[in-house]
Structure 1
Amino acid sequence: MLALGLASCAHVGEDQLSHPLAGKVWNVSQQRFIEPGVLAQQTSEARFVLLGEIHDNRMHHDIQATLLQQIAQSGRRPALVMEQYDRDQQGKLDDVLNSSQPFGDKLKALGDLMRKGWEWQAYEPLLSLALQYGLPVVAANLSREELRVVSRQGFGALGTGEDERLALETVWTPERQERLARDIYDGHCGKVPQHVVDAIAKAQRARDAVMADTMLRFADKGAVAIIGSGHARRDMAVPLYIAARAPQAVLISVGMMQVDTSQNPAAYANGPLGQMFDYVWFTPRVSRRVNPCDTIPAAPATSPAPPGLKQQS
């Protein structure tokens, strides 16, 4: 039986803990709840597993570690593919993994390599499991400099022919572009102008395609991706690029979602473009001391909003 203690998550209100969906797992295609152990079995058998998180929700990291342990205990040794490391760090990661340092020193070295801004202690259980079971730890993110160049120059900055190889245009549609623009605009609290939305959208698409490419490099033994929930979406993110390039591969996308006022699981699992995840694992919502919207400077009043969106004041 697979279980997690909801009360272990810090900064969670009692109303969140008592929410009817908190702690439940929803099978999106079958429109029913399943036991967490059933999901663990499914992920143990899939070639590619995407575990989409809210980065500052510790419970999501607990779930990821629990599922990764179940996969490793089944006898499989997939790559642990992590958004939290940039591609240009892979050599240093390999040096640590291949070193003769004691376990604790290796773990600390892996934590030290994680870029500032990530709370590496939240990922320590995952890295510990990777060391324990001998799993490759693989950097999946574009570096900040790569993202800057792509956002300004487009996908050609990834290299000659890379846009075609990565299926960047193959999977894309005007509907997906409109949805992505809306999500970026809303995610930045309506404080970003059109040209910034366009730049972020390019960077987001490039990251998704590169993350998919990273996972496909480990098609023989499989890969488990630790990524933000937005990257795990079937309707417009990493799974699209994997499906375009490896249509026969068995892929499972798990979205960990924080509950809100709705008690209808389908309201969380289905978006305007269709099914977002294969499974949704509901958790309480973490309270933030600072409203993220307060940290984003307002866009100039003359900056137009993305098409179909009303510019917020």
Structure 2
Amino acid sequence: MKIVKSLPFLLMFAMASVSAQPSHPLDGRIWDTRSKSFISTEVAYERAVSSRHLMLGERHDSEIHHRLQLDALQALARRGRKPTLVMEQFDRENQPALASAQSSGVTDAERLADAGKLDRKAWQWPMYKDLIRFAAERNWSLAAANLSRTEAREIAMGRRQAKLPDIGAAAVKNLEEDIVNGHCGHRMPQDRLASIVLAQRARDATMAEAVETSPPPTVLIAGAGHVRHDRAVPRYMKDGKDVLTIAYVETVDGKIQPSAYDSDGFDLLWFTPPTQRHDPCSQPLSGAVAREKP
């Protein structure tokens, strides 16, 4: 007798086949850069609880990274911690308004985003909504961390200087390479490159100040490049050694060993599947960068 398979059965079979496809061997694993070994989620969160300052470095457009950040906040709450949530997504100049909204009892994430003038388009709202809501509903303080876009632009364009501590020539050189790589390998004139690096350093120093002046313990939400011990926020802190940095790192096909990934400056690498995104380097550069000649 001929067996006719129903459509639902075929769909279930197809879904099972897709789910059975092997994922990257590092996805979901956590690498301790000091012990050179993998650790469990439980061990990672126990270390987070015991740290004065926890820094969660993300790819800004990764929903996976934001879910893991929320999971980290939930883990801290379960263990009785009540940190200040310090966020790159809010500019320091809007801290008074943000604090005023919270002191008046506002817990709605949309209203807090309005109070702190969070740029919803730039930060792809509502990606940060759950983080803000979780903290506010538990009466955790929110702290704005970032240098304002206007100030950063003035420094990057060379129209304003910023007096910052010396972090060493090697760290500055690495920051320059970060900028060049971020501009698809385009190396701009040195004076322009130096100004952009200075703006980046000013942002890191501003975030460091926001962390250190917030009631501890703190959790900083920022791009992974900002949470590096070697050349970013912890480098500008007086108690930078009492910091745990976790970088959420997207896996790459063919790179199956943690040693294949940049681990300098991070305590833990938390590997995740990559987010599918448009390659910005597939199109010609535009704007001021395109007009510059090295």
Bin the TM-score by the shorter chain: 0.7 to 0.9
Distance 1:301 1:211, change over 3 A: closer
Distance 1:47 1:100, change over 3 A: closer
Q: Counterpart of 2:192 in structure 1: which amino acid?
A: V
Q: Counterpart of 1:234 in structure 2: which amino acid?
A: H
Distance 1:295 1:276, change over 3 A: farther
Q: How does 1:64-83 map to 2 (within 5 A)?
A: 64-83=69-88
Displacement after TM superposition at 1:15 (Å): 11
The runs of 4+ residues in structure 1 deviating greater than 3 Å are 13-17, 153-156, 298-302
Displacement after TM superposition at 1:254 (Å): 0.3
Distance 1:253 1:206 in 2: 20
Q: Which of residues 99, 114, 119 is equivalent to 2:118? A: 114
Q: How does 1:65-104 map to 2 (within 5 A)?
A: 65-101=70-106, 103=107
Q: Counterpart of 1:223 in structure 2: which amino acid?
A: T
Listed one character per residue, the Cα deviations across residues 241-288 of structure 1 (whole Å, up to 9, x for unaligned) are 12xx225x5210000100112111022143xxxx32000000011111
Distance 2:160 2:284 in 1: 28
Q: Is this contact kept in 2: 1:16–1:22, CA < 8 A?
A: no
Partner of 1:282: 271
Partner of 2:260: 267
Displacement after TM superposition at 1:207 (Å): 0.5
Distance 1:301 1:90 in 2: 36
Distance 1:296 1:16, change over 3 A: farther
Distance 1:100 1:154, change over 3 A: closer
Q: Mind listing any 5+ residue stretches in structure 1 that lack a counterpart?
A: 1-12, 157-162, 305-313
Q: Mind listing any 5+ residue stretches in structure 2 that lack a counterpart?
A: 1-17
Partner of 1:61: 66
Q: Which of residues 279, 284, 287 is equivalent to 1:291? A: 279
Displacement after TM superposition at 1:150 (Å): 2.4
Displacement after TM superposition at 1:96 (Å): 2.1
Q: Which of residues 233, 255, 258 is equivalent to 1:238? A: 233
Q: Is this contact kept in 1: 2:52–2:243, CA < 8 A?
A: yes
Distance 1:191 1:71, change over 3 A: same
Partner of 1:224: 219
Distance 2:37 2:146 in 1: 34
RMSD of aligned alpha carbons: 2.3
Q: Which of residues 293, 303, 311 is equivalent to 2:293? A: 303
Displacement after TM superposition at 1:99 (Å): 2.4
Distance 1:83 1:300, change over 3 A: closer
Displacement after TM superposition at 1:82 (Å): 0.3
**Would you say 1:250 and 2:252 are equivalent positions?**
no
Listed one character per residue, the Cα deviations across residues 114-151 of structure 1 (whole Å, up to 9, x for unaligned) are 11311221111211111122111111001111112323
Partner of 2:176: 181
Distance 1:124 1:30, change over 3 A: same
SS at match of 2:244: strand
Distance 1:302 1:118 in 2: 27
Displacement after TM superposition at 1:72 (Å): 2.3
Listed one character per residue, the Cα deviations across residues 40-69 of structure 1 (whole Å, up to 9, x for unaligned) are 111011000110000000010111111112
Q: Which of residues 200, 207, 217 is equivalent to 2:203? A: 207
Distance 1:48 1:269, change over 3 A: same
**Would you say 1:31 and 2:36 are equivalent positions?**
yes
**Would you say 1:142 and 2:143 are equivalent positions?**
no
How many percent of aligned residue pairs carry the same amino acid? 35
Q: Counterpart of 1:216 in structure 2: which amino acid?
A: E
The 10-residue stretch of structure 1 (291-300 or 228-237) with the greater mean CA deviation from structure 2: 291-300
